[in-house]
Amino acid sequence: MKILIALVAGLIVGGGAAWWGASRNRSAEPRFDVPFQAVLLDTGLVYFGKISGLNTPYPVLRDVYYIQSATNPETKQTSNVLIRRGNEFHSPEYTVLEARHIVMVEPVGKNSKVAQLIAEQENKK
């Protein structure tokens, strides 16, 4: 009987420790070693910015950029331009996302074209 009680107690303690460790890891927000992240939404839109609150239902993206494509009707060439959000009529300072629409989040490489274009725009401020 003592062995059975010890076994059940061990399972309870071990299970509790496993649950505590798993719940602790789920609540930890991912960390990025670069200032900007690319956020892909299920609509196909990609935003670049500084994300926080990834472990919440409504993460916040600050210093937001997006790419706007334009096709020259004469040459049919497409050009991509990096646009900073905030210049719209309502001048948003940040964007609140609904977490269930985020497909993935990736770091923007320090030497990437996007990082270079963001740095150019940041220097113009």
Read off the pLDDT of residues 58-72 as tens digits, 9 standing for 90 and up.
Answer: 999 999 999 998 898
pLDDT tens column, 35-54: 999 999 999 999 999 999 99
- DSSP 8-state secondary structure symbol assigned to residue 42: T
Q: Would strands 102-107 and 94-96 be described as parallel, antiparallel, or unpaired?
A: unpaired
pLDDT at 64: 96
pLDDT at 21: 55
In whole angstroms, give the CA distance from residue 85 to residue 58. Answer: 18
Q: Would strands 94-96 and 60-71 be described as parallel, antiparallel, or unpaired?
A: antiparallel
User: pTM for the whole thing?
Assistant: 0.73
pLDDT at 90: 87
CA nearest to 65, candidates 17, 124, 16: 124
